[in-house]
Structure 1
Amino acid sequence: MSDIAVLVNTAVAVLATVVLIVRFRVNPVISLVIGSVYLGLSTGLGVAKTVETITGGFGEIMVEVGLLIAFGVLMGSILNETGAIRRLVEHLLRVFGPKRLPYTMGLAIGTALQSIFLDVLLVISAPLARRLAPKIGKLGTARMATAMAIALECGIVFMVPGVAALALAGLLGVPLGKMLVFGLVLIIPTIIISIAIMSFLFHKGFWNEAKDEDSTFIEDDGEASGAGAAAGGNSSGGANPGRASSPSGGSGAEGLEPAPAAVAVAERPEEKEAPLLVLFAPLLTALLLIGAGAVVEILELEIAWLQLLGNPVIALLIGLIGTGVVGRFTVGQARVENAITTGFKESGQILILTGVGGSLAATVAAAGLGDILGGFFSASTVAPLLVVWGIAAVLHIAVGSVTLSAITAAGLLAPIAPALGIDPVLIALAAGAGSLFMVHVTSNTFWLLQSLLGQSVRGALKSVTVGVSVASVVAILLILPMSLFL
């Protein structure tokens, strides 16, 4: 088959996948499999080879990240049950004061809390942010809403164990420790610079409190726990009349993941007050072990015990076991088991979506697209990264899901990564950065932040759409200089 025919059929497969999701509201998992089947058959792979490629690609990516995603979600579910997020925010407020709260809370959400399931993290932290916004002073709502939007979206694509970050690393063959180190190096300045830029714009008149703030859907109960539970009801399609359904028909914050029916964050009488550091110690230990394992690998050191403990699967398993032990001590065995059950339910669709992303990548590779596109790129490291960013941005504008657009872009680009002459970690980060561009009304995150933080739709377009787009541009501008050293 000619190169032009392969390119055309690949374009048709991607476009058909987008149309199925957006226009006909077919589940993204089913849409990606249909696109992969079409691509395989249309490029001459044949029935048997197409099915073999799709199933093989699914299995290969599950080998890479399946356990990691499951362990991360389970750990986050237990942390949620212990009320760790609420206590962390209160601690940040005491230590750093209200003026720095957008930055400190943003960094906490974008880094240390990324094992928490996105909807759960949003539902718990948004009411807390809303209550704390007046303490910041003028423009408190605008700054907190922007900080949360930027941190939530950047975290899932850049920071291990964020769902999209794990999927990107697996699809592009990036060692997870390396993804953690470079993601951390990127996400910290991205969050700080983006919040600073948006704060500057707000102070220059970009925010109009009379028009951009609206507390219609906020319950004035004065308690974060009550607001969190109300938010959980909204996130499953309840009482919020200002909310649009996601293009994929799902109810998760990205239109992909299932939202919890309700989230209670208030401490119950039987809870024991464990130090905050103890609650997060297992998660932080796991991340440190992964980072140490990456350093050992980069320096080519032979330290057997650290190579074992620094393996991402072992490190996250240690973190999960430790979090479970701490959870049993603080909230009891029954609630830990309930949290684990919830975590298994939440991780299911994420695992399947990630797997079919691997199926698409394998089909694209088998069709020969990598060899064809490899000749279209120069050895320059700048232009290809901008193309990667642009592809992910276009996919996100069309589909409305950060996670799905990042996975699809990485699936398309994985076969040509060797031909680009670029370290795969940069491609992963560029795809993640592009998938952040233009979070808008097709995203459930948009509507949850709009209602839970007391914004009008006009206000959410500024704090969420513009804010996260600024982060997308800042991130790619930081990634380009990184390419000079890799």
Structure 2
Amino acid sequence: MSGSMVLLMLFLTIGLILLLILKLKLNPAVSLVLGALFMGISCKISPNETIGVISAGFGGTMTGVGLSVGFGVMIGQLIAETGGVQVIANKMLSLVSKEKSDYALGLTGLAVSIPVFYDVGYVILMPLARSMSKVAKTLPYFAGALVAGLGIAHTFIPPTPGPMTGSEILGLNIGTTLLWGLIVAIPTFFLSLFVYEKFFLSRKNFWKPEVDEDKSFVEETVANVEKTPGFLTSITPILLPVLLILLGTVTKAINGEVPEVIQFISNKNIALLIGLIFIFFVSQGYIGKEATEKAIGKALGNSGVVLLITGAGGALGNVLKTVGVGDILASGIAKYSIPAILFVWLTAALLKFAQGSGTVAMITAASLIAPAASSLGVNPVLLALAAFSGTLMAAHVNDSGFWITAKIAGLTTSGGLKTYTLVCAIEAVISLVFIYILSIFI
């Protein structure tokens, strides 16, 4: 089959996936698998062989990220259940003045969103943000800060599912992705929040409480935990896996070789397992064995859905690799002088705009470029970061995160657009600039 026909089938496949998700409301995992089937068969791979390619892609992706995502979700759930998120937030806020409390709250969101899902972190931290808005800055400052912190970590820093799977698809060491993800995410957070507050919120008549805030909003209270762990205990299950994973990456960069014991403890699965074991036993001392087991069960249910989507994305990626999409895209990018980083970023942004799920957009964009990654002359980690960054662009009303942000914060649709959509867009552009700066050095 000619390259132009393969590309035509690729566009039809993406269109089919979007149709299934948007119009027929089919589960994204099922939609991705059906798209993979269509792509394989339409490119003249036999149905049985296509099924084999899909199974291999699904299994390979699960081998790479299954345990890590599951362990990460469990860690996040237990931190939330023990009241650890509030403990971390209160400590961060106590270290700064009221004038900088929005930055402290956003930075708290960044830290807790490494293992905790965006929606969980927002639900837990927003009541604190509303309380702070009564004594310090106004509501949009804190709502925007939470979006900036939670959003950037969920997008760039493993073990959240998107970055974890994108790294696996592009064949990257997770420690490498974690290191460069942090390098991009942290300055992007600070600069984006500064730009948002300086050039938007400070403008006269930009934020109109009578229009942007829901006057019928009744604040929901988050159940208080009678006995909570201390700050160090709460932050340890977040920092410990990160530091262990980075230990292996840094040791290799310095020495060239990594001792076997460091290889073992810096393995992403082992590092996260160590963090999980720590918070598991801590949780039993604070909320009891039964509540701990219940939290683990809830986390397993949440991670199951995510892993299905993740595996389905890997299945689609394997089909695209098998039919030669990578070589065709690589030659097209070279022929028309399309910057590879910008191509991946725009692809992820368009997919996010069309169907709303950042994880699906991230995985699909990574799957498209992965077969061509080795021949583009661009460090694959930059391609991964571009895929992550692009998903922050055009986050609007078809994104569940938009409605969580608006409803939990007590904002109208216009208020949600002025916080969630705008802050994410600023982060998308600024992180892309940082990625291009990194491309000079790596």
Cα deviation 1:355-394 (Å, max 9, x = unaligned): 0000010000001111111112239998110111000011
The equivalent residue for 2:43 is 43
1:180 Cα deviation (Å)? Answer: 0.8
2:261 is the counterpart of 1:267: no
Alpha-carbon displacement from aligned partner over 1:91-137 (angstroms, at most 9, x marks no partner): 22211132212222222222343211332222111222122222223
Match of 1:297 among 252, 258, 278: 252
- Counterpart residue number, 1:351: 307
Residue 29 of structure 1 and its aligned partner are, at CA, apart by 0.7
Where do 1:120-269 residues align within 5 Å?
120-137=120-137, 140-200=138-198, 201-205=200-204, 206-219=206-219, 226-228=220-222, 264=223, 266-268=224-226
Hey, what's the Cα distance between the residues in 2 that align with 1:3 and 1:179? 32
| Contact 1:111–1:184 (CA under 8 A) maintained in structure 2 | no
Aligned position for 1:95:
95
> Does structure 2 retain, via aligned residues, the 8 Å contact 1:279–1:326?
no
Instruction: Find out whether 1:407 has 2:401 as its counterpart.
Output: no
Aligned residue for 1:243?
none
Kindly state the Cα deviation for residue 204 of structure 1 after the two structures are TM-superposed.
1.8
Distance in 2 between residues matched to 1:427 and 1:136, nearest whole Å: 40
Quote the Cα distance in structure 1 between the aligned partners of 2:215 and 2:380: 45
- Structure 2 partner of 1:21: 21
Report deviation, 1:473. Answer: 0.6
Match of 1:255 in 2: none
Paired letter, 2:182: L
1:334 lines up with 2:290 in the alignment: yes
CA distance in structure 2 between the partners assigned to 1:23 and 1:116 by the alignment: 30
Structure 2 SS opposite 1:378:
helix
Counterpart amino acid of 1:108? T
* Residue 57 of structure 1: aligned partner: 57
Q: Report the CA distance between 1:39 and its aligned residue.
A: 0.3
Return the match for 1:278 from 233, 236, 241.
Answer: 233
Q: Percent identity?
A: 33
Q: Which runs of 5+ in 2 are unaligned?
A: none
Query: What RMSD over aligned residues (CA atoms) do the two structures have, in Å?
Result: 1.7
Structure 1 residue 340: Cα displacement = 0.6
Conserved? CA contact 2:36–2:315, under 8 Å:
yes
1:301 Cα offset (Å): 2.6
1:458 to 414, 430, 434: 414
Moved more, 30-39 or 378-387: 378-387
Out of 383, 389, 393, the residue aligned to residue 345 of structure 2 is 389
Any conservation in 1 of the 2:110–2:153 contact (CA below 8 Å)?
Answer: yes
* TM-score, scaled to structure 1: 0.87
TM-aligned CA deviation for residue 320 of structure 1: 0.5
Give TM-score, length-normalised by structure 2.
0.96
Structure 1 contact 198–467 (Cα < 8 Å) conserved: yes
For 1:383-430, what per-residue CA distance to the aligned partner results, in whole angstroms no more than 9, with x for missing partners?
A: 110111000011111001111111111111111111212121111110
In 1, Cα distance between equivalents of 2:203 and 2:234: 41
Q: Distance in 1 between matches of 2:369 and 2:176?
A: 19
- C-alpha separation in 2, matches of 1:381 and 1:472: 23
Question: 1:82 is matched with which residue?
Answer: 82
Work out whether residues 382 and 483 of structure 1, in 8 Å CA contact, stay in contact via their aligned partners in 2: no
State the distance in 1 between where 2:88 and 2:97 align: 13
Compare 416-425 and 178-187 and name the one that shifted more. 416-425
Deviations along 1:264-322, one digit per CA (max 9) or x if unpaired, are: 3x013xx3x43211122133111100011111233313322112111111111111001
More helix by share: 2
For the pair 1:362 / 2:361, whether they are aligned, the reply is no
Count of equivalent residues: 439
- Alignment match, 1:421: 377
8 Å Cα contact 1:292-1:306 kept in structure 2: yes
* Worse overlay, 447-456 or 410-419: 447-456
Indicate the residue corresponding to 1:108 in structure 2. 108
Amino acid of the structure 2 residue aligned with 1:28: P
Cα pair 1:212 1:455 within 8 Å, conserved:
yes
Q: Does 1:307 align with 2:263?
A: yes
Residue 259 of structure 2 aligns to which amino acid in structure 1?
I
Q: 1:373 to 1:382 in 2, by over 3 A?
A: closer
Letter of the 1:227 partner, please give it: T
Q: After TM superposition, give the deviation of residue 330 of structure 1 in Å.
A: 1.9
